Chains A and B, each alone.
Chain A
Amino acid sequence: MNLRTPLGTEVLSLHAGDRVFLSGIIYTARDEAHLRMMEEGIPFDPKGAAIYHCGPVIQGKQIIAAGPTTSARMNRLTGFLLDSGVRCLIGKGGMDSGVRDALRGRAVYLAFTGGCAALAASHMKLQGVHYPDLGMAEAVWIIEVTDLPLVVGIDAHGGDLFSRIGDRAGMRFEEWKKSSRLQG
C-alpha cells in the first residue's frame, strides 16, 4: 500500500505485518527533540504528521545516512504527539504496551529496517531543520521521502508484531531449555 503525508484515517485500515511505501514530509525526532517539543510546543503542524526516530548524518544540505534508531527510548515521550494528531511513528525495535494502547484508533507504528541508512538516504531529500542547536543527531530534520519501504509493526487495533514475535520467542526458549535438559 502507498501512503502519503499528511496522513488521515487510511492508516486505520493497516494491519501489523503489512508492507507499505511512504511518501511526503517526515520529521526526525529523538530523545532531546521530544523533551524540547513537550516544553516549547511542536514546531510543525502535527495533524497527520509522521515522526521518524532517527539521528541522521548530514553533510551541508545532504543526507548522508538516515536509518532508524531504537524507538523504545521514546516510550514515555510519545503520548503528547499522538494527542496532537500525529498519525505515524517510524523507527526500529517497536514500542511498549503504553504506546500500543495510545495508538488505538488513531495512528500506527511503522518499522524501517535497522542499519539501512544508505538505502534510507537514497529515498530522501532534506527540506529544513528545527532546533539545530540540539546537534546533528538530536535536531528535528524536515525530510521529504519517496516510497520509503516500511512494515506495519503496531497497528491501530492493538496488533503488535514485535510483542507477538517476542512472546513466541519466550515460549520457544522455554521449550528448548526443556528439550535440551532431557537430552543432557
Chain B
Amino acid sequence: MDAHGVETLRKALVDATLACIHDAEVLLPADVKRAIDVSYEAETDPVARGELENIRANIQTAERLDLPLCQDTGIAVIYVTVPENFTLSRAELSSAIREGVRKATEAVPLRPNAVDPLTRENSGDNTGVEIPPIHFSEGPELTITVLPKGAGSENVSRIGMLLPSEAGKVISFVVETVLLAGGKPCPPVVVGVGIGGTFDLAAALAKEALLLPIGMMNSFESEICDAINTLGIGPMGLGGDTTALAVKVKKAHCHTASLPVAVNIQCWACRRATRVVTP
C-alpha cells in the first residue's frame, strides 16, 4: 500500500473511533433498551417504576437531542480486531485511536475524565498513560468496539481469589458484590463475571463479558441473576423487582491451586458500539 493509502486507512480509523464513541454515548444498544423495557413492564414497586420512567425518558431525550446519555462519559475501553499482516502497526493503530478519542472529547462532547492517579491532574482530552486501554486481537477485518466505562459502577467491582475447594461460593461472591454495591452503581445493573484465568485475566474476562448481548442468558447466568434480583435493591437502590438486567459470564482455565472470580459491574447504561473500519 502506498503512503496515500496508509494515510486514508489511518484517517478511517480515527473517524470510526469518533463515530463509535458518539454512538455509544448517545444511543443505547437495542438489547439493553429491550431489557429495560421488560423490567419496566414487570415492575410492581411505584418508586421503582418512577425511576425506570426517568431512565426511559432519558434514553429518548439523548437520542432526540443527540446528547450523551450520562454526564459520566467514562473512560473509553477499546477492543480492536486486526487482520493478519495488517498494513498499520499496533503503534500506528493506537495513535489513530488516541486521536479519535481526543476528537470525540471535543465533538460529542465528552467530560474530560483522565487524570494522573496521584496528582489528579487532568489531561483534558481523555487520553493519558495507557489510557484509553486498547485490547488487540486477531480477526478477519479491522473492527473497533468502544465500551465507555463510568466510575460509579467500576468503583464497586471486585475480584476474589477463591480457593479451589470453593467453587460452590462463586455465585454467592457475585451476589454479595451486588449487595455491597447497593444503589451506588446505578442499578438495574449488568453484571460481567470472569471466572478462572489469572488475577488479571479474570478481570479482563469480566469486562469482556459486558460486550456480550444481554437478551439471552444460559442457566448458570440466569441462576445468578435470579439470586441477585431476590435482594430487592431495585433501580437506584430505592427498592424494586429488578436489580440486575442480566448476568454474563466468561470462563478460562486456571491454575490447579487457584480460582479467581472477577465481577465487573455496569450501570443500566450498558453503552457499547462497534464498527468495521473501511477506508
B172, closest chain A residue (CB) = A177
Inter-chain CA distance A70–B236, complex, in Å, is 11
Query: Which residues of chain A are near B68, meaning CB under 8 Å?
Result: 57, 64-65, 117-118
Summarize B's interface: helix, strand, loop or mixed. Answer: loop
Q: Chain B 85-124, CB within 8 Å of chain A: the 1/0 string? A: 0000000000000000000000001111000000000100
Stretch of A36-44, A79-87, A108-116 on the interface side: A108-116
A141-184, CB < 8 A from B? 149, 151, 153, 161-162, 164-166, 168-170, 172-173, 176-177, 180, 184
B161-203, CB < 8 A from A? 168, 171-172, 175-176, 179, 182-184, 186
Does A104 reach chain B (CB closer than 8 Å)? no
Inter-chain CA distance A19–B45, complex, in Å, is 13
- Cβ B168 vs Cβ A117 within 8 A: no
Does B44 reach chain A (CB closer than 8 Å)? no
Inter-chain CA distance A137–B179, complex, in Å, is 29
Once A57-B110, A180-B227 are accepted as A-B contacts, the answer to whether A115 and B183 lie under 8 Å apart by CB is no
Query: Which residues of chain B are near A172, meaning CB under 8 Å?
Result: 230-232
- Cβ A169 vs Cβ B186 within 8 A: no
Query: Which residues of chain B are near A12, meaning CB under 8 Å?
Result: none
- Cβ A161 vs Cβ B47 within 8 A: yes
- Cβ B71 vs Cβ A67 within 8 A: yes
B221 CB to nearest chain A CB (Å): 16
B269, closest chain A residue (CB) = A115
Query: Which residues of chain B are near A54, meaning CB under 8 Å?
Result: 71
- Cβ A165 vs Cβ B234 within 8 A: yes
Does A136 reach chain B (CB closer than 8 Å)? yes
Query: Which residues of chain A are near B71, meaning CB under 8 Å?
Result: 54-57, 64-67, 117
Stretch of B7-15, B52-60, B139-147, B255-263 on the interface side: B52-60
Does A17 reach chain B (CB closer than 8 Å)? yes
- Cβ B238 vs Cβ A114 within 8 A: no
Task: Point out which of A54, A118, A176 has the most chain B C-beta atoms below 10 A from its C-beta.
Answer: A118
B261 CB to nearest chain A CB (Å): 16
Q: Of the candidates B109, B233, B238, B267, which one forms a contact with A115 in the assembled complex, judged by CB atoms under 8 Å apart?
A: B267
Does B29 reach chain A (CB closer than 8 Å)? no
Q: Of the candidates A59, A67, A162, which one forms a contact with B109 in the assembled complex, judged by CB atoms under 8 Å apart?
A: A59
Q: How large is the interface on A (under 10, 10 to 19, 20 to 34, 35 or more residues)?
A: 35 or more
- Cβ A135 vs Cβ B236 within 8 A: no
Q: Chain B 234-270, CB within 8 Å of chain A: the 1/0 string? A: 1111110000000000000000000000000001110
B174 CB to nearest chain A CB (Å): 12
- Cβ B230 vs Cβ A19 within 8 A: no
Inter-chain CA distance A106–B170, complex, in Å, is 45
Does A122 reach chain B (CB closer than 8 Å)? yes
- Cβ A184 vs Cβ B109 within 8 A: no
Does B152 reach chain A (CB closer than 8 Å)? yes
- Cβ A149 vs Cβ B67 within 8 A: no
Once A57-B68, A57-B73, A117-B68 are accepted as A-B contacts, the answer to whether A165 and B230 lie under 8 Å apart by CB is no
A19, closest chain B residue (CB) = B50
B166 CB to nearest chain A CB (Å): 13
- Cβ A115 vs Cβ B268 within 8 A: yes
Query: Which residues of chain B are near A161, meaning CB under 8 Å?
Result: 47, 238-239
Does B70 reach chain A (CB closer than 8 Å)? yes
Inter-chain CA distance A118–B28, complex, in Å, is 13
Given A115-B267, A151-B238, 5 new contacts (CB under 8 A): A65-B73, A114-B236, A115-B150, A118-B61, A161-B47
- A sample of 9 inter-chain contacts (CB < 8 A) reads A19-B47, A57-B111, A65-B67, A92-B236, A113-B54, A117-B72, A118-B68, A121-B65, A170-B179
Binding site for B on A (CB under 8 A): 17, 19, 54-57, 59, 64-67, 69-70, 72, 92-94, 111-122, 135-137, 149, 151, 153, 161-162, 164-166, 168-170, 172-173, 176-177, 180, 184
